[in-house]
Structure 1
Amino acid sequence: MTLYLLSFLGFMMIGIPVAFSLGLSSITYLIVNGQLHLMIGFPQKMIAGIDNFVLLTIPFFILAGNLMNSADLTRQIVRFAQMLVGRVRGGLAAVNVVASMMFSGVSGAATAEASAIGSVMIPAMQRDGYKPEYAAAVTAAGSILGPLVPPSLALILYGVLTGTSIADLFLAGIVPAFALCGGLLVYVLVKARREDHPLPPVIPADERKSLAVKALPALLLPVIIVGGIRSGVFTPTEAAAVAVVYALAVGLLLYRTLDGRKIAASFYEAATMTAGVMLIVAMASMTSFILGIENIPREIAAQMLAISSEPWVLLLLLNLVLLILGLFLEPLAALVLVMPILNELFPLLGIDSVQFGVMVVLNLMIGMITPPVGLCLFIVSAIGKTPLEKVAVAILPMIGIALLILALVAFVPALTLTLPSLFPGQ
């Protein structure tokens, strides 16, 4: 397995994309070990890895998010968040966090959220006198709210890989997301008072009603998705298709900002993003095959048990490993890679699979904002034209807040399991 890991890291270091690095590492492993004949089964393994009906939710939810964003929803959300926050010192940073929370119900992915909110909020905060690295850091920290609430692509993939109810996962991520949002709000407001950050501009009274009306569709989308699935009106896959129809209706009839060119661009972006996701899942399936040959999952489980058999110690070790993995891998690829190992460890932890899923996803998302190679850090650094090292320093306190929420998710079951128990499915 050392050979596989070294070759994988080597391929990534020379600039080969993650998906192809996974595949090339698998081939390298077979060649060196004289098992090249097993490559005959690779196409079958790759197709089997993506041959799941529920995975259809991914392109539909990506398309719905693209359509809503193309319909100028991001700007409407930011203005509405600005109205909610009001004129408090450091209000624009708070607007950034609140807007990220609201946009979470549209994007489903941290990178999409960092790009959409960052393109609006980072220049606005810079114009208002905030340090560029701080504006970028707040945006990156807020971006990990997206994968915790519906329609989270990472939670969908976890549900597909483990057979866990996607509706339960959607509900389970909501309270941790609000807890993280609250923690970030407290931080930016306290920092604003300490460093005398500027006051945001006033929203005119005659604009407030129209802002509420225009932002309401973003707030209703996750309610429609979870409510429809939970009530039995439609399945998760059908919910994704409903989200697309809803996004089209909002853009064409309410905002009237969608046209043929924007719709075509949204479909194209959804197709390319979906192709990338599915390629990663397919290539990672080859890695899972290699893990099976080497019996790595059971060996890792045995090694961890040799350290301690206490569930809380195993949870701490597992969280540490996932945080490190999240530094280097895109979350969807990391999920496919680690689930064979996690499936061996899960029975030893004594926690619910829904709680476990939210914990795993939050772990990997924190890795995306953790220096030195967190993907969201690169995105916000590019948007803000700010050196990555400065953003990395500015985001450290916010990572601490996220780690605190992660600890609560791991060790306080009520945080994730209360909502699914209050709203049982049909």
Structure 2
Amino acid sequence: MITAAAFVAFMLVGVPISLCLCLAGIVFIQASGNPLLYQTLPSQLFGGVDSYGLIAIPLFILIGEIMNGGGITRRIIDLSMAFVGNIKGGLAYVNMLANMLVSSILGSATAQVAIMSQILVPEMVKKGYDKTFAAGLTAYAGMLGPIIPPSIMFVIYSVMAQVPVSDMLVAGIIPGVLLTGLFCLVIALMGFVYKYPRAERMTLRQRIAVVLETAPTLLIPVVIVGSILTGLANATESAAVGAVAAVLVGRYWIKELKFSQLPGMFLRAGLYSAAVLFLVAAAAVFTWILIYAKVPQEVALWVRAAADDPITFMLLLNVVLLIIGTVIDGAPGLIMTVPILLPIATQIYHIDPIHFGVVVVINLVLGFLSPPVGLCFFVASAVTGAKPGKMFIVTLPFFFAACALLVLLSIFPFLSTALVK
């Protein structure tokens, strides 16, 4: 109880979540009256990041930096325009399709929303779309970042759950495509009400020219996802090859990337990676505390009284995680919930850990788009000037579509594991 109170107090005064976890560990050791546990603390910190799979995180972050600096994002949007830009509500579909393609490179919801809001929202407003809707749509499309591989949250979960990183990344493909399809269906239904405009029609010659110019940008997701699916490389190796592919495409095909930009990209990727990896190390301390205090066993007794079967458990889990996700960011949310809930899911209800991980990550990502925090809305607001509260109201149909996907995933586990088994 003292440890929980200390953790909440540290968090309320603005201490970073990773430090909150470490300081709560120190409070727990002090309250336990067993000073010998201090000797275990450093080894727990080091053990948290002593995993080969975590090397994929800085590599995926570096790919995103290279992609942005090399003009690849803009080409992916042009490619999307060539396919769906001229239909009714075309720019809304372009927003969704481009985000799906960019998701297979970036893997971060907030980074993706910031980048795509700068590019797509002004273009949509210029063509007659409401700015609030355009910004909100971009925020929801950013949900695809942590779902479609590569995904930093999936990498973190795979290390915590001790499942193969490659399997976890592949498991996000079908849910990501399904979510894109549901969002496109919402756009189509809303288009009947709001009379979305059409973009300028491209001739066949123009479409072919755009495809030929931009198709090499797809080499990056093809290398990353294709090498994992075919077994030619694991997640870390595919990330390394993807980074090389991003440099080659940006420098020699698009010709916007300069080698002089690479040191700055390496530095930014390193700083962000350090923050993420320290959070993972702190998670190991938090997990150790929970296990030592027998918290999972206590929670298991309560859960077994509330849920009789796996489906009921998963549906209850959706509600709990969605509430947690509204106030805690994705990675910290993983760190606080997985050590408690994963043993219950796998040992009591015999739920596949990969299926469980997909549902947990999507729930926590949806929390990015739910009040009172709604981090993705605030990112889109900072870039576009639209009001976060209005964005949430205007885009409520997308929220319900995401909830529908979670129900489907909870009832039909094969939607998560079909490509893995």
The bucket for the TM-score relative to the shorter chain is: over 0.9
Unaligned runs of 5+ in 1: 422-426
Pairwise CA distance, 1:412: 1.0
Kindly report which structure 2 residues correspond to 1:227-242, keeping only aligned pairs within 5 A, or say none.
Answer: 227-242=226-241
Pairwise CA distance, 1:193: 2.5
Pairwise CA distance, 1:32: 4.8
> CA separation of 1:231/1:308 partners in 2, compared to 1, >3 Å: closer, same or farther?
closer
Q: Which amino acid aligns with 2:144?
A: L
Separation (CA, whole Å) in 2 of partners of 1:107 and 1:64: 7
Asked if 2 retains the 8 angstrom alpha-carbon contact of 1:312 and 1:349, the reply is no
Is the partner of 2:378 in helix, strand or coil? helix
Report the counterpart of residue 292 of structure 1 in structure 2: 291
Is the partner of 1:144 in helix, strand or coil? helix
Whether 2:277 is the aligned partner of 1:278: answer yes
Q: Which amino acid aligns with 1:363?
A: N
Report the counterpart of residue 101 of structure 1 in structure 2: 100
More divergent stretch after superposition (228-237 vs 274-283) = 228-237
Pairwise CA distance, 1:218: 4.2
Asked if 1 retains the 8 angstrom alpha-carbon contact of 2:219 and 2:245, the reply is no
Is the partner of 2:129 in helix, strand or coil? coil
Asked if 2 retains the 8 angstrom alpha-carbon contact of 1:327 and 1:367, the reply is yes
Pairwise CA distance, 1:204: 5.7
Report the counterpart of residue 420 of structure 1 in structure 2: 420
Deviation per CA, 1:76-129: give whole Å up to 9, x if none: 111211221132222211211111111111101111211121111122222223
Q: Which amino acid aligns with 1:280?
A: L
RMSD: 2.1
Separation (CA, whole Å) in 2 of partners of 1:35 and 1:69: 50
Separation (CA, whole Å) in 2 of partners of 1:229 and 1:317: 33
Deviation per CA, 1:264-308: give whole Å up to 9, x if none: 222122111101101111122221122122111111111111223
Whether 2:270 is the aligned partner of 1:268: answer no
Report the counterpart of residue 46 of structure 1 in structure 2: 45
Whether 2:70 is the aligned partner of 1:66: answer no
Pairwise CA distance, 1:203: 4.0
Report the counterpart of residue 391 of structure 2 in structure 1: 391
Is the partner of 1:368 in helix, strand or coil? helix
More divergent stretch after superposition (347-356 vs 100-109) = 347-356
Asked if 2 retains the 8 angstrom alpha-carbon contact of 1:102 and 1:218, the reply is no
Separation (CA, whole Å) in 2 of partners of 1:199 and 1:282: 49
Query: How many residue pairs get matched?
Result: 420
Kindly report which structure 2 residues correspond to 1:84-163, keeping only aligned pairs within 5 A, or say none.
Answer: 84-163=83-162
More divergent stretch after superposition (93-102 vs 213-222) = 213-222
Report the counterpart of residue 55 of structure 1 in structure 2: 54
Report the counterpart of residue 219 of structure 1 in structure 2: 218
Report the counterpart of residue 166 of structure 1 in structure 2: 165
Report the counterpart of residue 24 of structure 1 in structure 2: 23
Is the partner of 2:103 in helix, strand or coil? helix
Deviation per CA, 1:198-233: give whole Å up to 9, x if none: 222344655433422343344343332233234342
Kindly report which structure 2 residues correspond to 1:195-206, keeping only aligned pairs within 5 A, or say none.
Answer: 195-203=194-202, 205-206=204-205
Separation (CA, whole Å) in 2 of partners of 1:378 and 1:35: 44
Is the partner of 1:130 in helix, strand or coil? coil
Q: What TM-score comes out, normalization by structure 2 length? A: 0.93
Asked if 2 retains the 8 angstrom alpha-carbon contact of 1:372 and 1:392, the reply is no
Unaligned runs of 5+ in 2: none
Report the counterpart of residue 424 of structure 1 in structure 2: none
Separation (CA, whole Å) in 1 of partners of 2:53 and 2:159: 7
Separation (CA, whole Å) in 2 of partners of 1:267 and 1:210: 33
Asked if 2 retains the 8 angstrom alpha-carbon contact of 1:136 and 1:391, the reply is yes
Separation (CA, whole Å) in 2 of partners of 1:226 and 1:196: 37
Separation (CA, whole Å) in 2 of partners of 1:262 and 1:202: 37
Q: Which amino acid aligns with 1:411?
A: I
Is the partner of 1:389 in helix, strand or coil? helix
> CA separation of 1:418/1:37 partners in 2, compared to 1, >3 Å: closer, same or farther?
closer
